[in-house]
Amino acid sequence: MLVIRPINSADFPALKKIAEESGHGFTSLPVNDQRLQQKIAHSEASFATAVEQAGQQGYLFVLEDTATGDIVGTTGIEAAVGLETPLYHFQQNTVMHHSVELSVLNQLKTLTLCNDYTGASEICTLFLRQSYRQGYTGRFLSKVRFLFMAEHPQRFSDIVIAEMRGAADDNGQPPFWCWLQKLFLTIDFPTADHLIGVGKKAFIAELMPRHPIYVGLLPEEAQQVIGQVHQQTKPALKMLQQEGFVHRGYVDLFDAGPTIEARLSQIHSVASSVKVPVRVVDKVEPGQMLAISNTGTQGFRASFSEQARFDEHDAVLLVQPELADALQLEDGDLARFIVLEKGRR
């Protein structure tokens, strides 16, 4: 069985392995022992702290295969970004150049450095090992964050964002980065990627353009990828769009991937989640695939299974013993669930 739980210090070797597998562009998990250990410690403290409003907490979850004890994936939430270290984006705008005398009207696209998402919550750090990328696992890993946020809304901001990985060439280099490096930076993409991952972002304010950039002056290959996602990121983007996330013109500084947003209360999996008592029964007839969590913080557990069914007549969630044990649920406890998909695959 696959179970989501908060990360702990014993998971460091597994987290480091995932950081190595994730490759460049996955800045939230740098291959740096000190930084990874700090992230684990910060997550443990965040789960342990009573919170009345979103602050600098960061929640990192791991996906454990209970049959082997292996950690096979991660997913995370930053409660409020940009409060300590600025979070920069380019904002896409259109400016008008108009000459009445010449009867000329030009609409020109620009990119402007900004940090408009300061204080927003961010879903991040989603990674699933290759051998587990099948069935419902990836979908669950994305949506389980919304179960936690629905249960603990006071820990998060009203606006939730997700930064999507931008387009890259056959060598893994973002075309958008190439012109940026040539004009403004003298470091390669992996170096910049690593610096951001370990929290050294001062060079952004020091070296990035301070004035609006006219998009039409960029190389054609850089223009074409603004707001576009990496081929491997398209399924994740589609899933979040189905949750209600939209793109309002903000893109990443280095690969120009879109940052999308939604209001917490309007995210589909938050709004449609149901919180009901549990009844442990010997057998549940398979039907809908449900994502289910308990209502804990430090003791948060979640999984997906057909070994549970919502009894509308009694307004209880029927759960088989194996699943109840994995989620640390007993008769009468409250659980929260969403439907991953009706029927079987």
| CA torsion through residues 254, 56, 232, 262, sign | negative
Q: CB burial class (10 A; 0-12, 13-18, 19+) of residue 307?
A: buried
- C-alpha pair distances (Å), 178 with each of 87, 126, 232, 341: 21, 26, 21, 42
Residue 76's beta-bridge partner residues? Answer: 60, 124
Per the annotation, the verdict on 247 as an active-site residue is no
Q: Which helix (H) or strand (E) covers residue 6, if one does?
A: strand 2-6
Q: Which of 42, 89, 230, 313 is catalytic?
A: 230
Amino acid residing at 164? M
What one-character DSSP code corresponds to residue 132? G
The pair of three-digit structure tokens given for residue 118, joined into one six-digit string: 């300061």
Asked if 277 and 111 touch (Cβ cutoff 8 Å), the reply is no
Residue 26's contacts (CB-CB under 8 Å, 6 or more residues apart) are 19, 127, 165
Residues taking part in catalysis: 230
